[in-house]
Amino acid sequence: MPRRYLKHIMPDHRTMREHPHLRRFGQRLAEPKLWHLNRRSVAFGLALGVFVAFMPILGQMLVAAALAILFRVNLPISVMAVWLTNPLTIAPIYYLCYQVGAALLALPISDHAFIMSWEWFKTEFLAIWQPLLLGCFVLGIISAIISVLLVRLFWRVIVIRTWLKRRGNKN
């Protein structure tokens, strides 16, 4: 069952609540729904984390944690899902987001050479921010919906296989 595997890899909620940096959140972290491992909580926690991962913002993990607390979905899953965009994947993901946004806005896709400077930000980024944000939002929503469907399907298949296996052992 997926619950056993997830319990094995996830941190203990008591340890997390007693962590010195997390104590300031107090009773908000004591909410059982934030730590519960069921199909709904894991699916929507993953969807929330994947959506936030597509947003080009700083502090994605903090945003995912705050939204998980607000929507009462699995906190560790939503924070871990943010790492979909990591130093290896961030450039291709955001380039794809830019391409999707430009296609939706019917703008030509132009080559923008990235140079880490204030001049680049003032000229090039101001030309691509609209298609980039639109593409990030659209792909974030699509990826979140797909992740919910896949988790719920995967969870259901494992539960059915476990049930059939248990039923087969009884006969």
Work out the mean pLDDT of the chain and round it to a whole number. 84
pTM over 0.85: no
Percent of the chain with pLDDT over 90: 43
DSSP class of 75: H
Q: Are 146 and 46 in contact (CB under 8 A)?
A: no
Nearest to 60 by CA among 19, 31, 94, 32: 94
Neighbours of 160 (CB within 10 A): 10
Please report the pLDDT score of residue 109 as a whole number. Answer: 82
Where are the domains positioned within the chain? Answer: 2-170
Rounded to an integer, what distance in angstroms lies between the CA atom of residue 5 and that of residue 38? 12
Please report the pLDDT score of residue 128 as a whole number. Answer: 84
Better-predicted residue by pLDDT, 110 or 156: 156
144 phi/psi in degrees, rounded to 5: -65, -45
Name the band, by pLDDT with cuts 50, 70 and 90, for residue 8.
low
Rounded to an integer, what distance in angstroms lies between the CA atom of residue 123 and that of residue 166? 63
Better-predicted residue by pLDDT, 120 or 105: 105
Rounded to an integer, the average pLDDT of 91-104 is 92
